[in-house]
Structure 1
Amino acid sequence: MDFVKTVLVTGGAGFIGSHFVCSLVNRHPDWRIINFDNLDYCSNLRNLESVEENENYTFIRGDICNPRLVNHIFATESIDIVFHFAAQTHVETSFVWPSRYHMVNVEGTRVLLKAAFEAKVEKFIYISTDEVYGESLYKVNETSPRRPNNPYSVSKAAAECLVLSYRERHKFPVIITRSNNVYGPRQYLEKVIPKFVSFLQLNKKCTIQGTSPQSRHFLYVDDAIEAFHTILERGTVGETYNIGTDFEISIIQLARELIKMVRHVPDAELDDWLEFVPDRPVVDLRYPVNCEKLWRLGWKPAVSWAEGIRRTVKWYQENPDFWPDVKPEDQPITFEPDNQ
């Protein structure tokens, strides 16, 4: 079959990447979708079971930091569009191995950019994070300064600079996205919602880091996927787009809601299921973003928090063995967006 376009998705076996790959495969049967992933600890080919037999889907296992392999893919696959999700995203681990985050998030992006530029792809979409803005009391927009506060967000901001340098120097057709926390089915257990749900299923308490009033904006994965399609179809090359929601919840209140949903305990006993643990070295309290720019393209979140969290908890209850041999208590918690 002759395909109209070929799209390369890096990190397509991860949480968000796999949801996006599945949507592309089903929405564009005349496009060839290549999933390029190294199958790191938080990736899982079970995420792609619904499309693995489709004629327009191809999986390539490999590392974006391997220039020989990356150059070979671009030289042989006639790629038109790149969606770059692949990244190291766990904030706490970034304090332990900052060089690893720099290698994957910065050097890997450089290798991919160079190959994509030389192959003259028509669009390169880089998936970043709201964390590059740093903590803010007020909504930030796409022109707000970047003030990253941890090795993970520093590496994402540095990668953004590489992407923008190709735009400025070479007029390369790039787009950058910065999203709030994304949640939903199939997310790895290190992230706050699946970790809390897993703890509660094991009759364990939810662990709350520190005592500061941390809160996050949570965007359901289906809404994030629709945002990426909107940007692909109607986004302007050279622009940056925030992807987010006005819904915000404190981490303690999030834990209490999940305790009620999973354990069905009365309100008076909710805090008995909380356990306070030491904080991480640097903590940002909140990341509110202004998404009016994306709204003008016709996108807005469609899934309410009540519906999204209901779907998410139901999925984890029905799929307790999706991540075999993974113990949630061994996963350091993070409240940050998952871009994989």
Structure 2
Amino acid sequence: MDFNRTVLVTGGSGFIGSHLVCSLVSRHPDWRIINLDNLDYCCSPRSLESVEDRANYTFIRGDVCDSQLVNHIFNTENIDVIFHLAAKTHVESSFETPSVFQHVNVDGTRALLGAAHQARHQPQRFVYVSTDEVYGASLDQVFDESSPVRPSNPYSATKAAAEYLVRSYWDKYKFPIIITRSNNIYGPRQFTEKVIPRFLTLLQTNRKCTVQGTLPKSRHFLFVDDAVSAFLLVLEKGIVGEVYNVGTSCEIPIVQLARELVKMVKNVPESEVNDWLEFVPDRPRVDLRYPITCEKLQRLGWREEVCWAEGIRQTVKWYQDHPDFWKAEPPFNQSHVLTGSDALYNTH
């Protein structure tokens, strides 16, 4: 079958990536979607069960830092679009193993950019998915795309460094890059190290929500479907060389978040909610909030469609319906996979 467009998604088995891949495969049967992922601990093949047998979907198990593999993909496939999501993202872990974050987030981006730029078939778009954390924290200033980048932890520092690499290919070669910076994204299938699934997992196993520190931390939460629609809109209407914030007006203090989830999961009266909260020591150098404006994206026609009440309802229900999703992985269907070594010798 001939396809009108070939899209490479790195990190497509992760939380956001799997939602993006499923959307692309379902919405565009005339596009070929290639997912490159090494299936790290926070990824699950289950996330893509709904599309794994589709004719327009291919999974390559491999590392974005593997230059030989990445070059082979670009030399044998006519890649038109790259969505680069593969990254290490857990802030606490970044303090423990900063070199790993440097390798994956910066070196992986460098390998991908180099291969894409040198490919005989030149891509039309390279969309780099970054984070609001590159701005650093703010109590009152709202960040727009021209605000200075001041990352405050090893994770966000590597994302900022990768952004500079991506932008350098635009500045030097006019390689068609676009950068997105999004608020916290939540929804079904998110790994349990992130705050919402962490709280839900604790509550479902009759443990208290562990709230870090006593400072008034809050986060802006964007439902994953709205994030995916933003990425797809940027692909079609975004201006190359530009940065787009993907933001939400939904800001929730972490303590309030915990209280809401206690009420939803445990169904206890207000007087008993605090019994399900436990305050634990804070992580090093915590940022209180990341306020951003996304007027630039809204001018392209994007609007947040899923309100907090509906998004969190869907999310809680999914975790209640899938309590064992992250406990044990099923046998992986190898018939749908090219591993990194196989991919070097097979064109498909």
TM-score by length of 1: 0.95
1:141 positional shift: 0.2
- Name the aligned partner's letter for residue 47 of structure 1: S
253-262 or 317-326: bigger deviation? 317-326
Q: CA–CA distance in 2 between the matches of 1:321 and 1:171?
A: 47
SS state at 1:128 partner: strand
Q: CA–CA distance in 2 between the matches of 1:226 and 1:5?
A: 18
What's the counterpart of residue 70 of structure 1?
70
Q: CA–CA distance in 2 between the matches of 1:184 and 1:247?
A: 14
Cα distance per residue 1:138-181 (max 9 Å; x no partner): 21000000000000000000000000000001111000000000
SS state at 2:249 partner: coil
Q: CA–CA distance in 2 between the matches of 1:288 and 1:138?
A: 7
1:62 positional shift: 0.3
What's the counterpart of residue 259 of structure 1?
262
What's the counterpart of residue 141 of structure 2?
138
Structure 2 residue 103 is matched with structure 1 residue 103: yes
- Name the aligned partner's letter for residue 146 of structure 1: V
Identity score, percent: 67
Structure 2 residue 249 is matched with structure 1 residue 250: no
What's the counterpart of residue 178 of structure 2?
175
TM-score by length of 2: 0.93
What's the counterpart of residue 52 of structure 2?
52
- Spell out the pairing of 1:175-324 with structure 2 (5 A cutoff): 175-324=178-327
135-144 or 257-266: bigger deviation? 135-144
SS state at 2:278 partner: strand
Give unpaired runs (5+ residues) of structure 2.
Answer: 330-348
- Name the aligned partner's letter for residue 105 of structure 2: N
Cα distance per residue 1:306-338 (max 9 Å; x no partner): 000000000000000111249xxxxxxxxxxxx
16-25 or 115-124: bigger deviation? 115-124
1:300 positional shift: 1.1
- Aligned Cα RMSD in Å? 0.8
What's the counterpart of residue 128 of structure 2?
126
- Name the aligned partner's letter for residue 241 of structure 1: Y
Q: Which runs of 4+ in 1 moved over 3 A?
A: none
SS state at 1:125 partner: strand
1:271 positional shift: 1.0
Cα distance per residue 1:214-237 (max 9 Å; x no partner): 000000011111111111111111
Q: CA–CA distance in 2 between the matches of 1:141 and 1:58?
A: 37
Structure 2 residue 150 is matched with structure 1 residue 147: yes
What's the counterpart of residue 114 of structure 1?
114
1:293 positional shift: 0.2
- Name the aligned partner's letter for residue 108 of structure 1: G
268-277 or 308-317: bigger deviation? 268-277
1:272 positional shift: 1.1
1:4 positional shift: 0.5
The count of corresponding residues between Structure 1 and Structure 2 is 326
Q: CA–CA distance in 2 between the matches of 1:222 and 1:186?
A: 12
99-108 or 119-128: bigger deviation? 119-128
What's the counterpart of residue 335 of structure 1?
none
What's the counterpart of residue 337 of structure 2?
none
1:208 positional shift: 0.6
- Name the aligned partner's letter for residue 309 of structure 2: A
- Name the aligned partner's letter for residue 308 of structure 2: W
Cα distance per residue 1:195-228 (max 9 Å; x no partner): 1011001110000111110000000011111111
SS state at 2:8 partner: strand
Cα distance per residue 1:46-78 (max 9 Å; x no partner): 100001111000000000111000000000011
SS state at 2:87 partner: coil
SS state at 1:323 partner: coil
